[in-house]
Structure 1
Amino acid sequence: MLLSDQAGQAAATKIPRPATLRESVIEAIQELIVSSQLKPGQHLVESELAELLGVSRQPVREALQQLSGEGWVDLHPGQGAFVHVPTLEEADQLLAVRTLLETESARLAAEHAGEGGVRQLRSLCARGIAAVQSDDVDSAVALNSELHALVTALSGNAVLAELASQVARRVRWYHTPVARQRGMASWDEHTALIDAIEAGDGQRAARIMREHTEHTRASYMEQRENDPVEPAPKPVRRRRPRTPQAG
């Protein structure tokens, strides 16, 4: 029997492969964008990125091409690459989808988390509160993402977890600028959410998660309205100077 004939009988174990240099560069640039070390609208110079990441310009060029296709980078002929400036509409739509996914995750987590899951959630929450108290915004944002990912994992729904993971990094990008503004209120909401999950109250957990994610969505939209990001300049075509004709 051919392997192709056996495909429907059992799933083959995938052999893990090391990340290519290009994939590593893509991951690194995404992290720089998500953590706001590279700002929306910022010009991305290949040589500077290559020096920063300790690689040649070729994998940086390839990474920028792929990131452009994924909506992280905008390429302007004659101008170069710029960090994408999310429109208010695309940010609002993505954060709305996040609310739908994570509300259902919270409801299911209340049914399936168990004592071990609740302990993990409380540990992350305690570390997040400590990060806020010490004004460590980067750690608070990372722990916020971990906590939300854990709630989704505890839902027991693998499809839901996969969908949530597809938007998680971009959600973190939108959350970073408002993390300090949300401050302790966000972690008070996390505490209330964990209490509802521990009590097995799916409806309350869903309501708290819905309100929690909507607060972040509203904070981001308010921040963008008060401090709009200027889009990257449009390409400017420069005329070549005329070559003087011999007299």
Structure 2
Amino acid sequence: MLDALATLRDTAHTWHFGRTRMDTASTAREARSVRQPLERPVPLRQAAYDVIAEMIIAGELQPGEHLVEKDLAAQLGVSRQPVREALQRLHTEGWVDLRPALGAFVHVPTDDEADQLLATRTLLEAESARLAAKNATPEQIAHLWELQRAGEKALAEDDQEGLVKANATLHAHVATMSGNRVLAGLIAQVDRRVRWYYRPIARSRGAEAWDEHRALIEVIASRNGKKASDMMRRHTERTRESYHDRA
């Protein structure tokens, strides 16, 4: 009997000790869970992808141009491996064509490709303008006017890159104002392609585009969602038409 009691005491002590250790470990895990995640550097393949994509958008790499891995690697200051991985991803996403035995070339966009993307953009941005008119804060509208002034400044200075950037930033802000993160995310996904297509027509759209932006901001500020949607649809459709009418 005494042996049984001793065994029971030992078992209880062991269970209590084990339970205490489990509780302590659980508390420690909870304490660790509130730490901020570690900062991680962007992988070289991602950095190479971003830079090459922006070089294509900016026209530094022209449609149809041959992309030589070793030259790009030397230009970016990296080995050929991240450049090769970046080119594979750019090929998958339609920025680059990989030709057997010939190498990589900047994709030459077709009118049909551009039409499909710009048509999709119209649908997304018309809805974002409607929601922006409904949800906009005075501070957001004030920022829209700041972006409008930046665009008008680029227009006055005949700054093509400034026009492309200002146009993209203003449209992105309208998407943010919508309050719909899924919609804003979809618009962001097509933003790079839109900037690529917009660059050749930024000057020809010129004052007309920024007059349309000004009118759009006024309608958003008036809280007229339907009118803002209709105006954004007409605005983006004019850009689509201008792309097809380019020389």
Pairwise TM-score range, normalised by the shorter structure = 0.7 to 0.9
Counterpart pick for 1:29 among 52, 60, 78: 52
Q: How does 1:60-209 map to 2 (within 5 A)?
A: 60-209=83-232
- Give the superposed CA RMSD: 1.8
Q: Where does the alignment leave 5 or more consecutive residues of structure 1 unmatched? A: 1-12, 227-247
- The TM-score, its normalising length taken from structure 2, stands at 0.83
Counterpart pick for 1:59 among 82, 90, 101: 82
Displacement of 1:59 after TM fit?
Answer: 1.4
Q: Higher relative CO (CA 8 A, sep ≥ 6), structure 1 or 2?
A: 1
Query: Which protein is richer in helix relative to its size?
Result: 2
CA–CA separation in structure 2 for the residues paired with 1:77 and 1:37: 24
* 4+ aligned runs moved over 4 Å, structure 1: 13-16
2:238 pairs with 1:215: yes
- The TM-score, its normalising length taken from structure 1, stands at 0.83
Displacement of 1:47 after TM fit?
Answer: 1.9
Displacement of 1:60 after TM fit?
Answer: 1.1
Q: Where does the alignment leave 5 or more consecutive residues of structure 2 unmatched? A: 1-35
Displacement of 1:17 after TM fit?
Answer: 2.9
The residue matched to 2:97 in structure 1 has which SS? strand
Q: Percent identity?
A: 55
Displacement of 1:56 after TM fit?
Answer: 2.0
The residue matched to 1:126 in structure 2 has which SS? helix
The residue matched to 2:117 in structure 1 has which SS? helix
